A and B are shown apart, each in its own frame.
Chain A
């Protein structure tokens, strides 16, 4: 079945450091790919998405490119801030119209940014 594997955490960085959180996926169809973020004490929020190969999703300085050849969707940010401290989830949703578009999540990566 479809699955998502993402970098184990926790990840601790200093403010203004470069961030990469790796994510790879396995899917039989042509999934849409997502990064969700969960800030402390808050619910899950969509951070960015990409719906087809070579699409780049971006939001709040974060970027991820849908790479079909490597089945990857790595999250990057050039300069992290303390406010980026959160848990990040890579996820996919199958494009098949014969089944529900449930989201399959990775295990989450906890990111902590030191001032």
Chain B
């Protein structure tokens, strides 16, 4: 497909386990973003990639969160030792470049539930 895809669509895990969330951006999009949508916090920025580097990680809530991007394409968001407050929908977006007025296209999200 032509859009941003994310997997899995749903993930249920036990507290303390690690999880990996995957994002496949639109082909050719150099910028990739991770956001989190939760009931109490709304939509929050987590991290941004330009190519394979992450110039802005300011939104990562703790050192349990990390992300990488390889080949300027697929990105993985890893949450270690998950906590119940990590439960949220994790959204990935991509855009052609880092310009502020370039539209970001969002994936359907991964719903993470930590029991």
Question: Which A residues have a C-beta under 8 Å from some C-beta of B?
Answer: 31-32, 36, 42-46, 49, 51, 89, 93-97, 99-108
Q: Given A102-B59, A105-B43: A43 and B109 within 8 A (CB)?
A: yes
A49 to B95, CA, bound (A): 15
Number of residue pairs across A and B with beta carbons under 8 Å? Answer: 63
Residue B103 at the chain A interface, CB threshold 8 Å: yes
Decide: A49 near B98, CB < 8 A? Known: A43-B91, A102-B45, A108-B43. no
CB of A105 within 8 A of CB of B99, answer no
Partner of A99, one of B33, B35, B56, B99: B56
Closest 9 CB pairs of A and B: A100-B56, A105-B43, A101-B100, A44-B106, A100-B48, A102-B45, A93-B100, A32-B101, A43-B108
Please report the C-alpha to C-alpha distance between residue A107 and residue B44 in the assembled complex, in whole angstroms: 10
